[in-house]
Structure 1
């Protein structure tokens, strides 16, 4: 359970956190939800949101998947046709570093669907404005800030999963991995890709899970062994699964939604939830503290935990903050809560800088080039 120790346990050495991420800024893709066409896309190489600076225009930072955003936003635009939403989307680490870099001149109005463990780095710097969105009483207590009013509110939880290309596995005569331990077997040498924890929340939750499940000494030994079989560390949570789906590598260490979606879309992907348990985190929302907080920002946060969009979340994730009547998507474990590994958020948050520094020193040589 998330406790106040989780909220208060952040290491104040956040400058190291910024330095790990700031160099990894990628071209930011801006999705503009307009009155006439909610799916209209705008590209802006500078990474800054476009649009007029009015009470009816919102800049929303998110780490949600590209293919989720349009579907989720449709109901908001239908209900609020006079509010224009500029979406700035990137990996968790990049979004977090961007927020911290803009601390003295915040550009975002709202953060939507970004790791709670990362949001609280911003909260430690006083960047989040407490706000209790309408419908807060329906949010599961374990997936929200316990303070009243909360500084962040979750929408769902996501967990690590292996994306295994069954065609490639057969062609290479490789066995189906069933556990984290399996991935260190010599037959998988150079057959695995994984998310880089210095730029990906998915990568970090997997590394954190290993260190917590095994203890630090044995955890680093495990990661050393896994490193021998990793061909490349990729700069997003979904990239390893997409690479596996394309047949570039047989196995991608990614996360649940991406593995399940690619399988259900007809790709030769088998989602594998490791026997020892999956690392996990919470996708959460927050209001950015600014001199001028727009009423539309609170409208957005009210909608972001509403029943309408929560049903959409439930179509993609097995664990959602607001319970709905939507069945667990095909491909997930029957009891997803039992799949979650030990996760002391307080420990992970306090030791995040140190973990990433050590991981980078040991393994960054195999990271894909930064763009």
Structure 2
């Protein structure tokens, strides 16, 4: 992931951004007296369509000027990260994109480490109102290179009508999703493309520990019908009835609860097995419109902007088109919106989250993308075949252990992470892992006879 993309892919990415800019929100050519801002984000269009009009109004009140915002999306957050890296490889001084917004926190840590962000000093009154951390996770960078824009948790969304019709069990933990009864009824995003998918899997590894975590990931993935590219796609699967369960970030879940009703879909945050995570934005190196980007960040971080995340649509001070259902990073906002939001969770008053090692997650991001992608996605057919044989054989402990066996432990992965930009090493490991994945499935089949 840290290597240069091929010339063909770089060319296609450059073409994509040109087309996106031509079709982005706002006029193609800003009128005289109109400022500009470009935002690269994997966020859904409802965030764009609710936040940007409110920001434009705020900007006009604050500056007396209009602003044109260009919205660019290259896919999931991992895809956007790849795009940023490839563009900076081509033009190291800047890529004519001002702000990167979304993907949680890990992509921003990566960009900071690679020197692709710049220090962003916001209004001290804005920054001083933000707690430094929540559940042990920083909300903004101590060196002011990235800031959280809101908070999110991760959990399991179930389609209650499908679940009840199929007589499936209620799911309360990640491990519950390894039940053979739900095989073929789980939809999950490929962690190499979806930041939500990656973080959800990493939460499982850190919540259960390396060995047990990989057993849960392997068996959960063996129950997956098909991996999808983005977290938006897996929610579509669930809403359509093609899946009974999916791993989601909370705002996708609350949106469906509002649209379909709490009797139709249910969202559960596994108690003591999840995290609260800031969804961050950062100013890219060489940004053309740094002043406008800073004002955008100050608006989102203000009490006015933070209430937009939590309020129902149409409520005074809330989003005009659709509810966004994100958690505010300002504690006083929870009291201010009480009775006007569906959200019941207050992460500043909850002890139900794990002590997530953010540094570890960031250091291992690239190598674990390939480890997860190889064993759980690329080798999915052989994983499913092995799991079916293990189920038929009565789930003998030795067979389960063989199916879930991994060729590396956490210490070895941490060592590999230091060398993962070596393309030759990376390709050799991925090929070896793919062969190992197929062999372990055959061993599980043999032990199940």
Structure 1 length as normaliser, TM-score?
0.81
Q: Which moved further from structure 2: 232-241 or 51-60?
A: 51-60
Equivalent positions of 1:295-306 (< 5 A) are 295-306=291-302
Q: Is the 8 A contact 2:174 2:216 kept in 1?
A: no
Q: Is the 8 A contact 1:33 1:77 kept in 2?
A: no
Unaligned stretches of 5+ residues in structure 2:
61-65, 312-323, 381-449
Equivalent positions of 1:179-198 (< 5 A) are 179-198=173-192
Q: Is the 8 A contact 1:93 1:198 kept in 2?
A: yes
2:263 pairs with 1:281: no
Q: Is the 8 A contact 2:38 2:97 kept in 1?
A: yes
Q: 1:51 to 1:158 in 2, by over 3 A?
A: farther
CA distance in 2, matches of 1:219, 1:210: 6
2:267 alignment partner in structure 1: 271
Q: Per residue, is there more strand in 1 or in 2?
A: 1
Equivalent positions of 1:44-123 (< 5 A) are 56-81=35-60, 82-89=66-73, 90-103=75-88, 104=92, 105-123=94-112
2:30 pairs with 1:34: no
**Post-superposition shift, 1:183?**
0.7
Q: Which moved further from structure 2: 333-342 or 307-316?
A: 333-342
CA distance in 2, matches of 1:277, 1:326: 27
2:329 alignment partner in structure 1: 321
**Post-superposition shift, 1:276?**
4.3
* Counterpart among 163, 168, 174 of residue 168 in structure 2: 174
DSSP 3-state at the match of 1:106: coil
**Post-superposition shift, 1:65?**
2.4
Q: Per residue, is there more helix in 1 or in 2?
A: 2
DSSP 3-state at the match of 2:337: coil
1:348 alignment partner in structure 2: 361
2:205 alignment partner in structure 1: 211
2:309 pairs with 1:308: no
DSSP 3-state at the match of 1:123: helix
- In the TM superposition, what whole-angstrom CA distance separates every residue of 1:316-344 from its partner, at most 9, and x where no partner exists? 44632223122384254466743433310
**Post-superposition shift, 1:144?**
3.2
Q: Is the 8 A contact 2:190 2:373 kept in 1?
A: no
CA distance in 2, matches of 1:114, 1:32: 20
2:120 pairs with 1:136: no
CA distance in 2, matches of 1:309, 1:334: 18
Q: Which has the larger radius of gyration?
A: 2
**Post-superposition shift, 1:122?**
1.1
Equivalent positions of 1:212-291 (< 5 A) are 212-267=206-261, 268-290=264-286
- In the TM superposition, what whole-angstrom CA distance separates every residue of 1:202-241 from its partner, at most 9, and x where no partner exists? 1111111111122212211211111221112222223222
Aligned CA RMSD, in angstroms, stands at: 3.0
Unaligned stretches of 5+ residues in structure 1:
1-13, 36-49
* Counterpart among 361, 370, 395 of residue 357 in structure 1: 370
Q: Is the 8 A contact 2:41 2:100 kept in 1?
A: yes
Q: 1:141 to 1:364 in 2, by over 3 A?
A: same
CA distance in 1, matches of 2:25, 2:344: 31
CA distance in 1, matches of 2:329, 2:287: 30
Q: 1:274 to 1:33 in 2, by over 3 A?
A: same
How many residues are treated as equivalent by the alignment? 338
**Post-superposition shift, 1:290?**
0.6
Structure 2 length as normaliser, TM-score?
0.68
